Chain A
Amino acid sequence: MLFVLPLLVFTGAIFAQSGDIASGDGGDCFILSLTAEDAPNDAGGGIDLEWTVSAHVTEPDSIVLERLDEDGAWSSIGTILPVDGSRTDEKLSNGLEYTYRAVSFYGGIPGTPSVEVSAVPARQWIHKGRIGMLILLTLISLVIFYFIEQGKRGKDLYIRRIAGLTAVEDAVGRATEMGRPVLYIPGIMDMDDIQTIASMVILGRVAMKTAEYGSSLLVPTCRAVVMSVAQETVKESYLQMGRPDAYQKGNINYITDDQFGYAAGVDGIMIRQKPAAIFMLGTFYAESLILAETGRSVGAIQIAGTAMPSQIPFFIAACDYTLIGEELFAASAYLSKEPKLLGSLRGQDVAKLFFMIVIVIGVLAATIGESWEPAARVADFFKTITSVR
């Protein structure tokens, strides 16, 4: 039912009003033409003004754009350069008509004003530059939800083996045997980063394992909000495993927001506490190799995962297992084997297949389009629906 929302929005687009367009020609005025139009794709309150200048009239010293006030007086909204240009007048009231003109000044004396143009600002109910993306998002969502339903109904969904995730249990088990802690590093970004969110989901699963095995779990964080979320996540996992007594809030602490200060702090924890297993899952930048190499030097088994393409090679070189890109987002489903989550993974794969087909057709169309016009139009269509403005 929730898909009704975007579909309604899309339907709204068809009936969306384009706003008023007004224009006027300048005659002997330096401003040759002036147009006023409701600013497109905004929440209202904006009018786009566009002007062209004459090449045959003497260039003025300055040009002032003016708006007609409610009391009938003209007031300046700013000066403009003596070239073709545009400007958006903002913070206007929706539904009211606004009138504009441009006045050229020669030695401080106003010349012939341009024609007066009017427009009415209005809010738009659909962003026309994003309709293609809306359709694609709706399609992807439908596919994912279809497979979630399939999962719920008990359909057997195959998921390939992901070595890094299979090793989670072994890593926690190893730490327990060695009597050393498990170190979980959730990246350096805040909770508004989807990779940090995915990392918190995996932390919940890892915490269940540490609760089950009775190992100590350390979670140093780079952001205070992440610390609060991590504390709640781990606490809930320990509760669910029936081990609330084993939960230690003090082990999940905030270090610093500074990227390299955090790296130094975590390196210190590694050197002093010598964890037997280290998880590095989330968003990482230049600190990735500094952390991974230090972890390796203390002999820990390391499982890393990130969607940052530039950091993946470092993790592969220094860690025992690396989750590459989308594998990070598949971890929760893989670890829990919950049918609903597995279904979403299948949906995600089907959506990816769809994009692969779109890419192949688009590439072929663009290539053939070099010499055959209809193919170029197909390529343009694909370009339009996959672009966002």
Chain B
Amino acid sequence: MGTFTEKLGSIDRRVIFTVIALSVVVPLAARLNLPIPITPGPSTDMFDAVEALPTGSIVLLSFDYDPSTMPELQPMAFAITQHLMRKDIKIVSMALWPMGVSLGNEALTSVSDSLGREEYVDWVNLGYKTGGGVLIVRMGSNIKSVFPEDYNGNSVDDIPIMEHINKLGDFDMLISLSAGDPGVPAWIMMAGDRYDIPIGGGCTAVSAPQFYPYLGTGQLIGLLGGLKGAADYETLVRIGQDDPPPGTAIPGMAAQSVAHLVIMLFIILGNISYLAGKKKKGGVK
């Protein structure tokens, strides 16, 4: 029979799983909301870069994720689309992941309908093509050969927004919301570095740290990392808006706050047990 402090160090992982589940479910069920403080960082850099684009600019928005990472990336898709359309910036969208097309379309149609924008004039969804990095390189010289038709099967030659878009260099900015490979790194290496296009990114919280080197070199102009990045952007987009539509990232941050506190509590308990055990061993010596 170990002491209580020793037992703390060997809590069954099923107990940890249950407490974590509760720490996420309860705040979501209770609709707990916390204010999102905005501090200067990659999220504000991203917002400022989009804000600096003049009206009428054209942005390529690539939805490089699938439903598994939707909780983190879909709120970003909504917030960014809303920001771009509100500023009358035209959006050409595509996907390097097959399921990204429908997820992107959902965000585009929803925001477009709410703001009264018109498909093919203010935005277009080109759809999905396989190839990753190779595809991006080909788009660098000729987009219309890579995407002869849009998502709905219409010829891109007949789409007004595509009239003056021939290659990647014709875009004013490129934004990739990515859950892995192909995603942000492919866009940076194959498009940003080759054609000098400013690139913004959105990614899961797990992969955010690996993109910081690109922020440091300016290869990425901004980055939305995980639910926090999405909540930051939702907050920034809402500033000054009378009737902003609800987003899912801000409510999610309350649940994430509690979950982080619970994990920290477990780590503290584990360390109490560890230090108590160490002290005991020292005493025996």
Q: Which residues of A contact B (CB under 8 A)?
A: 42, 46, 78-81, 86-88, 90, 189, 259-260, 283, 285-286, 297, 308-310, 387-389
Rounded to whole Å, the gap between the CB of A132 and the closest CB of chain B is 13
Q: Which of A79, A87, A309 contacts B209 (CB 8 A)?
A: A309
A285 near B68 with CB under 8 A, answer no
A286 near B209 with CB under 8 A, answer no
Number of A-B contacts (CB under 8 A): 42
25 A-B contact pairs sorted by A residue (CB < 8 Å): A78-B166, A80-B164, A81-B164, A88-B141, A88-B166, A90-B141, A259-B68, A259-B180, A260-B68, A285-B180, A285-B207, A286-B69, A286-B179, A286-B180, A286-B207, A297-B13, A308-B210, A309-B210, A310-B206, A310-B207, A310-B209, A310-B210, A388-B193, A388-B194, A389-B194
Q: How many angstroms between the C-alpha atoms of A259 and B99 in the bound complex?
A: 13
Nearest B residue (CB) for A283: B181
Nearest B residue (CB) for A90: B142
Contact with A along B135-169 (1 / 0, CB 8 A): 00000011000000000000000000001101101
Q: How many angstroms between the C-alpha atoms of A389 and B196 in the bound complex?
A: 9
Given contact pairs A90-B141, A286-B206, A388-B193, enumerate 16 new A-B contacts (beta carbons under 8 Å).
A78-B166, A79-B164, A88-B141, A90-B142, A286-B69, A286-B180, A286-B204, A309-B209, A309-B210, A310-B207, A310-B208, A310-B209, A310-B210, A387-B193, A389-B193, A389-B194
Q: How many angstroms between the C-alpha atoms of A42 and B207 in the bound complex?
A: 35
* Cβ–Cβ < 8 Å partners of B68 in chain A: 259-260
* Cβ–Cβ < 8 Å partners of A46 in chain B: 141
Q: How many angstroms between the C-alpha atoms of A378 and B280 in the bound complex?
A: 60
Nearest A residue (CB) for B163: A79
Rounded to whole Å, the gap between the CB of B76 and the closest CB of chain A is 17
Rounded to whole Å, the gap between the CB of B235 and the closest CB of chain A is 25
Q: How many angstroms between the C-alpha atoms of A387 and B181 in the bound complex?
A: 23
Q: How many angstroms between the C-alpha atoms of A308 and B181 in the bound complex?
A: 11
Rounded to whole Å, the gap between the CB of A86 and the closest CB of chain B is 8
Q: How many angstroms between the C-alpha atoms of A305 and B251 in the bound complex?
A: 37
Q: How many angstroms between the C-alpha atoms of A286 and B208 in the bound complex?
A: 12
* Cβ–Cβ < 8 Å partners of A87 in chain B: 166
Q: Which of B169, B179, B181, B194 contacts A189 (CB 8 A)?
A: B181
Q: Which residues of B contact A (CB under 8 A)?
A: 13, 68-69, 141-142, 163-164, 166-167, 169, 179-181, 193-194, 204, 206-210
* Cβ–Cβ < 8 Å partners of B163 in chain A: 79
Nearest B residue (CB) for A314: B206
Q: How many angstroms between the C-alpha atoms of A80 and B204 in the bound complex?
A: 39
* Cβ–Cβ < 8 Å partners of A389 in chain B: 193-194
* Cβ–Cβ < 8 Å partners of A286 in chain B: 69, 179-180, 204, 206-207
* Cβ–Cβ < 8 Å partners of A259 in chain B: 68, 180
* Cβ–Cβ < 8 Å partners of A283 in chain B: 181
Rounded to whole Å, the gap between the CB of B156 and the closest CB of chain A is 13
Q: How many angstroms between the C-alpha atoms of A189 and B182 in the bound complex?
A: 11
Q: How many angstroms between the C-alpha atoms of A6 and B246 in the bound complex?
A: 58
Rounded to whole Å, the gap between the CB of A209 and the closest CB of chain B is 31
* Cβ–Cβ < 8 Å partners of B69 in chain A: 286
Residue among A189, A283, A286 with max Cβ neighbours from chain B (10 Å): A286
Q: How many angstroms between the C-alpha atoms of A388 and B190 in the bound complex?
A: 10
* Cβ–Cβ < 8 Å partners of A285 in chain B: 180-181, 207
Q: How many angstroms between the C-alpha atoms of A81 and B142 in the bound complex?
A: 18
Nearest A residue (CB) for B211: A310
Rounded to whole Å, the gap between the CB of B61 and the closest CB of chain A is 21
Nearest B residue (CB) for A41: B194
Residue among A79, A260, A285 with max Cβ neighbours from chain B (10 Å): A285
Residue among B180, B193, B194 with max Cβ neighbours from chain A (10 Å): B180
* Cβ–Cβ < 8 Å partners of B167 in chain A: 88
* Cβ–Cβ < 8 Å partners of A81 in chain B: 164
* Cβ–Cβ < 8 Å partners of B194 in chain A: 388-389
Q: How many angstroms between the C-alpha atoms of A286 and B13 in the bound complex?
A: 20
For the complex of A and B, the 8 pairs showing the least CB-CB separation, nearest first, are A310-B210, A309-B210, A285-B180, A310-B207, A81-B164, A260-B68, A286-B206, A310-B209
Rounded to whole Å, the gap between the CB of B261 and the closest CB of chain A is 20
Q: How many angstroms between the C-alpha atoms of A90 and B181 in the bound complex?
A: 30
* Cβ–Cβ < 8 Å partners of A260 in chain B: 68
Nearest B residue (CB) for A312: B210
Q: How many angstroms between the C-alpha atoms of A389 and B193 in the bound complex?
A: 6
Q: How many angstroms between the C-alpha atoms of A46 and B166 in the bound complex?
A: 13
Nearest A residue (CB) for B209: A310
Rounded to whole Å, the gap between the CB of A7 and the closest CB of chain B is 25
Rounded to whole Å, the gap between the CB of A275 and the closest CB of chain B is 19
* Cβ–Cβ < 8 Å partners of A80 in chain B: 164
* Cβ–Cβ < 8 Å partners of B181 in chain A: 189, 283, 285
Rounded to whole Å, the gap between the CB of A131 and the closest CB of chain B is 15
Q: How many angstroms between the C-alpha atoms of A81 and B13 in the bound complex?
A: 63
Rounded to whole Å, the gap between the CB of A382 and the closest CB of chain B is 13
Q: How many angstroms between the C-alpha atoms of A283 and B204 in the bound complex?
A: 17
Rounded to whole Å, the gap between the CB of A262 and the closest CB of chain B is 12
Q: How many angstroms between the C-alpha atoms of A78 and B170 in the bound complex?
A: 14
* Cβ–Cβ < 8 Å partners of B180 in chain A: 259, 285-286
Q: How many angstroms between the C-alpha atoms of A86 and B196 in the bound complex?
A: 14
Nearest A residue (CB) for B180: A285
* Cβ–Cβ < 8 Å partners of B169 in chain A: 86
Nearest B residue (CB) for A81: B164
Nearest B residue (CB) for A129: B194
Nearest A residue (CB) for B66: A259
Q: How many angstroms between the C-alpha atoms of A309 and B194 in the bound complex?
A: 24
Q: How many angstroms between the C-alpha atoms of A297 and B12 in the bound complex?
A: 11
Q: How many angstroms between the C-alpha atoms of A90 and B166 in the bound complex?
A: 11
Rounded to whole Å, the gap between the CB of B73 and the closest CB of chain A is 12
Q: How many angstroms between the C-alpha atoms of A88 and B179 in the bound complex?
A: 33
* Cβ–Cβ < 8 Å partners of B208 in chain A: 310
